[in-house]
Chain A
Amino acid sequence: MPLLDDKVKESVKTLLSVLTRNVKLIVFTQEKECSTCMDAIVLAEEMAALSGKISIEKYDFGIDKNKTDQFKIDKVPSFAIIGATDSSSSQWKDYGIKFSGIPAGYEFTSFLNAIKMVSLGNSELSQKTKDALKTINKPINIKIFVTLTCPYCPTAVMLANRFAFENDLISAEMIESAEFTDLAKKYNVYGVPKIVINENIQFEGALPEDLFLAKILSA
């Protein structure tokens, strides 16, 4: 059954018409014990049908070990968004941007903007922030717990994705709390967005660029 209705498809098509370089949605699913895995595949296929710049690769979490290790996938469904680094698509880059769970609801905005950012090659962060991110020399993992009905959450997800785009040591993962309830319980998610940086820094709320950056720099 299709996920996107005709009106949404039309809007998405317009938004994606500005894409320049090719983008690949890498979808990790499994057949059993995953109620939303089929939706993940349908969403990826519908997105690819709306832009010639988007292609998809599908992998099974239990079977394709090399790929799950390569993209550090530990749950399904999960999407990694990678981008071609030149116009001929001879090389692809993983920016460390992942969405775990279906990026529907308000998170569809985050998902579309991540695709745009990877294709257009512009994080739209301030120069001051970009310079500060260059000084980071150790791995930083940002988990952003969301619900799909939270209008605040995309601000946090999109900012984390922008940070990941600017520095290869930074990775960002949107996690849909209602889908991964055990993980939400483990990290005491009682309000969203909840951000966990490198396991040791945790906070709730969508901080502005400079304050979110300060949290990352202190990790």
Chain B
Amino acid sequence: MTSSINPDRLSPALRTEALEQLLTERGLVDPAVMDKFISTYENDVGPLNGAKVVAKAWTDPEYRARLLAEGTGAIKELGFAGPQGEHIVVLENTAALHNVVTCTLCSCYPWPVLGLPPSWYKDPVYRARIVREPRTVLAEMGLELVADVEVKVWDSSSEVRYLVLPLRPAGTEGASEEELTALVTRDMMVGVAR
């Protein structure tokens, strides 16, 4: 739901263009630096990073123990660190427990392992309701949890960021770390899939 849109309102695309002109003319931004930021988050920093962390945890019990005890350091071992990743806590799903992460105040998200947040994570529907009726919201998003699975919702209201360690899928005993990486989705690592 959004409020009715004022027809005189200038589009954000045109206002972004205007702001970039104003700042560039005065030497306050360098469009090449902007291009680099955009390219980094379009190409380099995304959920594949988190998937590598998860697949390693699925195949290496010592890494898994380090990841759960001190997430930030274990994630950094794989080379992933940076803005919105000062302190990352990893939440372990089990057969009896499901974790799901939100940020009701803005849309805080663990950028170094998941990249920038997807549209549903930033949507008022998710931010407002996942902390009030998570089982209903998850079902609307396609994840039906049986009643005896405990649900924990995490509202990222400080600089701590959360990453869900999903359950390793059944039947993947012989899979390599690389094959497992391909099975891990962004939605599993936020907790809207399992």
Do A and B come from the same complex? no
